Amino acid sequence: MPSLRPKPALFNPIFRLTTSGLLRRTGAGGAVRAMDAAQVFDRESGASDEPDQRARLKIAIVGFGNFGQFLARTFAEQGHAVIGHSRSDHSAAARSLGAAFFRDPHDLCEQHPDVVVLCTSILSTEAVLRSLPLQRLRRSTLFVDVLSVKEFPRNLLLQLLPPEFDILCTHPMFGPESGKHGWSGLPFVYDKVRIGDSEDRANRCRRFLDIFAREGCRMVEMSCTEHDENAAEIQFLTHTVGRLLAKLDLKPTPINTKGYETLLELVENTRSDSFDLYNGLFMYNNNSTELLERLELAFNSLRKELFGRLHVNLRKQLFQSPDGGSSPGAEEN
């Protein structure tokens, strides 16, 4: 006699779509979890336990322009997986570097990178960060910025990122031009703003920093506040003097001195950087305004000293008698 128990359904739907993405039923208990939502960071899903796999990072570069590609080349050469994203299409450049490129930030974040490196301009950083679908990243993702100012991105990342995300503020103090022959001896400044206590998170931060250490960078751990105090003189003053000299339209001459050639080189170097960078160094570093005021005071003091001596010399010439003494009435004047 045939069994009267109901037969199991031949089609049992195991997927359903919700506002958070595609959900999957797992296990006998019917638990459902998101396939593309952020996951708790215990271990990467499907990650290999091989040592070389654990050392390999998946690094997303947001802002895949000139500087982003400059970093991507070294990341890839060291064996890390690189994925890029920009408003402009840099897919051909990415392929040449062995990297993947995603125009859509959702597609980028769904790759679940270990590290997200912000390589945007200072002025566009906030808008770019707000455009990223952070909910599609793992909740333990490490965010790294490489801006030329540090207090601004530190405060911005602390404000906009979920508290579970790690934050490393860095400044490679070199670029495609100064670092084209290698990074050995070039300073790399960093501040571990917020790194989780777990061994996995600490190791990931060390592995990222090791990329620059392996290239021979001079690793400098420094607070964001101290960096900006120093950078106002190191960077903003250099850019200001270079751009001021550029307005004089200096030209090479047949009798150039080494000092004059150094000034011409400074003009060329500062011209190669965008005005947005210079403007960002001014707007987003509290120390830059004070430095401009000091520079103006120093210039006025120097001019006053020059004209003061000129006035003294002119008076001597005007009132000196032919025999070398003072003319009558000079003392009274």
Taking the model in full, what pTM does it have? Answer: 0.72
Mean pLDDT, rounded, for 299-324: 82
- State the pLDDT at residue 269: 86
Query: Percent of the chain having pLDDT more than 90?
Result: 66
pLDDT(215) > 80: yes
- State the pLDDT at residue 38: 41
- State the pLDDT at residue 323: 66
Mean pLDDT, rounded, for 97-122: 97
pLDDT(226) > 70: yes
- State the pLDDT at residue 303: 92
More confident residue, 278 or 48: 278
Range of 167-176, 265-274, 299-308 with top mean pLDDT: 167-176
pLDDT(81) > 60: yes
Band (pLDDT 50/70/90 cuts) for residue 53 is: low
* Dihedral sign for Cα atoms in the order 301, 302, 307, 308: positive
Distance between CA 167 and CA 163 in Å, rounded?
Answer: 10
- State the pLDDT at residue 51: 41
Distance between CA 241 and CA 262 in Å, rounded?
Answer: 12
- State the pLDDT at residue 77: 97
Band (pLDDT 50/70/90 cuts) for residue 326 is: low
pLDDT(324) > 70: no
- State the pLDDT at residue 8: 43
Mean pLDDT, rounded, for 280-293: 89
Band (pLDDT 50/70/90 cuts) for residue 235 is: confident
- State the pLDDT at residue 325: 62
What pLDDT digit, counting tens, does each position of 113-122 carry?
999 999 999 9
What pLDDT digit, counting tens, does each position of 8-30 carry?
444 344 333 333 343 333 444 44
Band (pLDDT 50/70/90 cuts) for residue 328 is: low
pLDDT(322) > 80: no
232 closest CA partner among 289, 275, 189, 271:
289
- State the pLDDT at residue 18: 39
pLDDT(316) > 60: yes
- State the pLDDT at residue 273: 85
Band (pLDDT 50/70/90 cuts) for residue 210 is: very high
More confident residue, 322 or 315: 315
Task: Give the C-alpha distances (Å, rounded to integers) separating 143 from 22, 41, 54, 150, 167.
Answer: 26, 15, 19, 14, 5
Q: What is the mean pLDDT of the chain?
A: 84
- State the pLDDT at residue 203: 97
